[in-house]
Amino acid sequence: MPIYEFECEKCGEDFEQLILGSGQVVQCPRCGSKNTRKRMSACAFKSGNSFSGTGSRASGSCSGCTSTNCGSCGG
């Protein structure tokens, strides 16, 4: 199941959402607004015990990463 990154256009909250179907409505967890925008995110593929990244992100705990889950970027 794909997890997408979104930004709320009302309050600016960045959040992740598991999308189960194309008709799913995405709502901001902070303010409840449905006025959200899907963000471009990096993609990584796991091969054995290593990760291979295919992009970079703007900020976060890892260099160039915005994810709060280091398992998603291999950091």
For 8, 31, 49, the CA distances from 14, given in Å and listed in that order, are 7, 12, 29
Looking at residue 21, its pLDDT comes to 84
Looking at residue 60, its pLDDT comes to 42
Per-residue pLDDT tens over the stretch 35-56? 999 987 766 666 666 655 554 4
Q: How far apart are CA 9 and CA 39, in angstroms?
A: 11
Predicted structure pTM score: 0.54
Looking at residue 55, its pLDDT comes to 47
Looking at residue 22, its pLDDT comes to 84
The phi, psi pair for 47, rounded to 5°, reads -125, 105
pLDDT beneath 70, residues of the chain: 1, 42-75
Q: How far apart are CA 53 and CA 37, in angstroms?
A: 23
